[in-house]
């Protein structure tokens, strides 16, 4: 069964450092999402791509977060500088099109110390 690949699985970083996460969606999936899940809560959308274009980044804290999907395939989410409150699970998901259900990866667990 096809999977959404994410790396690293775990990341510990010091406050004010830069950190990056990588996602490889299921082959052929045009739509890619980054969600953040704080422990004990449901995932919340950070950014949504359709191919290489951003569809929705209204909840992305753009002063410190950036996301790109340059060739419309894999994607990188960056935080610079990291803050203690950024500690969370960062989940990537993909779907074939805007109105299809989507598949999540296993996520990157970020701890900021």
In the chain the first and final C-alpha atoms are separated, in Å, by 36
Q: Does 45 bind another protein (CB under 8 A)?
A: yes
Selected range binding another protein among 14-22, 36-44, 63-71, 80-88, rule: CB under 8 A: 36-44
In total, the chain counts a number of residues equal to: 113
For another protein, how many residues bind (rule: CB under 8 A)? Answer: 23
| Closest CB to another protein among residues 30, 81 | 30
7: left (phi over 0), alpha (psi -120 to 50) or beta: beta
Q: What is d(CA 61, CA 81) in angstroms, rounded to the nearest whole number?
A: 12
In the complex, which residues of this chain contact another protein (CB under 8 A)?
A: 4, 33, 40-45, 48, 55-56, 91, 93, 98-99, 101-107, 109
């Amino acid at each position: 069964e096809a999977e959404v690949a994410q790396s690293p699985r775990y990341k510990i970083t010091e406050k004010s450092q830069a950190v990056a996460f990588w996602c490889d969606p299921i082959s052929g999936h045009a739509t890619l999402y980054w969600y953040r899940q704080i422990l004990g809560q449901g995932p919340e959308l950070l950014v949504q791509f359709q191919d290489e274009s951003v569809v929705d980044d209204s909840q992305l804290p753009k002063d410190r977060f950036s996301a790109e999907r340059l060739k419309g395939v894999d994607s990188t989410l960056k935080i610079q500088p990291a803050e203690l409150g950024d500690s969370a699970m960062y989940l990537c998901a993909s779907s074939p099109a805007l109105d299809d259900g989507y598949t999540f990866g296993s996520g990157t667990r970020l701890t900021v110390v």
